[in-house]
Copies of this chain bind each other. A is one copy, B any other.
Amino acid sequence: MTDYAKATAQIIAAGRFLAAKGWAPATSGNYSMRLGDGRIAITVSGYEKGELTPEAIMLIDANGVPRDNRKPSAETLLHVGIYAVRKDCNAILHTHSHDATVLTKRHKDLKALVLADYELLKIYPGINTHETKVKLPIFNNTQDMKKLRAEVEPFLADGIPAYLIRGHGLYGLGRTMAEARGIVEATEFMLSCELELRS
């Protein structure tokens, strides 16, 4: 299997998993993987994420320029920005969940979600105990991707595994697709607990 074929298969499988969880309503969300040669496989805009086919995935270069005449995800710049800063990251999953939306809209002024004392924190790279705190930044939503990319950049440099956009959703970063999936699943689990614990 070529590197691109492998990425395509892993993105399709991730879409099926995330849509089944209800985290990709109405074609929302976008997923990508960095290939060995530095190019990026990313979802094309507008497809049902639970029913992706190879045609729903396309190649862009490291600057986000499409390699064919299809339209990549509207949030391509955010993916490109992450890969530019985070050499350790090779897979990105962006979900739209009910709980992430309610949490970030209810707590309008919250600038970060602090997760503490969860056994599941151990899913994050480098964490071996629940006796710790992980701080995930929450950015206000904007349609200006350049602006958002710039806001996210300093936090990426700090090594965050995930971040939230208000009224919008979650970005999870992994060295592999399996890790990205684990980070998204564990983060959605913990933020769902937080939503309930804070109400």
**Residues of A in contact with B (beta carbons under 8 Å apart):** 25-28, 96, 98, 101-102, 105-106, 117-120, 123, 128-131, 141, 143, 165, 167-169, 181-183, 185-186, 189, 192-193, 196-197
Q: How far is the CB of A61 from chain B (nearest CB, A)?
A: 26
User: For chain A, what secondary structure do more than half of its interface residues adopt (helix, strand, loop), or is it mixed?
Assistant: helix
Query: Of B28, B193, B196, which is within 8 A of A119 by CB?
Result: B28
Q: How far is the CB of A3 from chain B (nearest CB, A)?
A: 23
CA A120 to CA B27, docked complex, whole Å: 10
* CB–CB A185/B25 < 8 A: yes
So how many copies of this chain end up in the complex? 4
Q: Pick 11 A–B contacts, CB within 8 A, sort by A.
A: A25-B186, A26-B185, A28-B123, A96-B119, A101-B193, A106-B197, A117-B141, A117-B167, A119-B141, A130-B141, A131-B143
* CB–CB A26/B118 < 8 A: no
CA A178 to CA B128, docked complex, whole Å: 33
| Nearest-neighbor residue (CB-CB) of A106 within chain B | B197
* CB–CB B193/A26 < 8 A: no
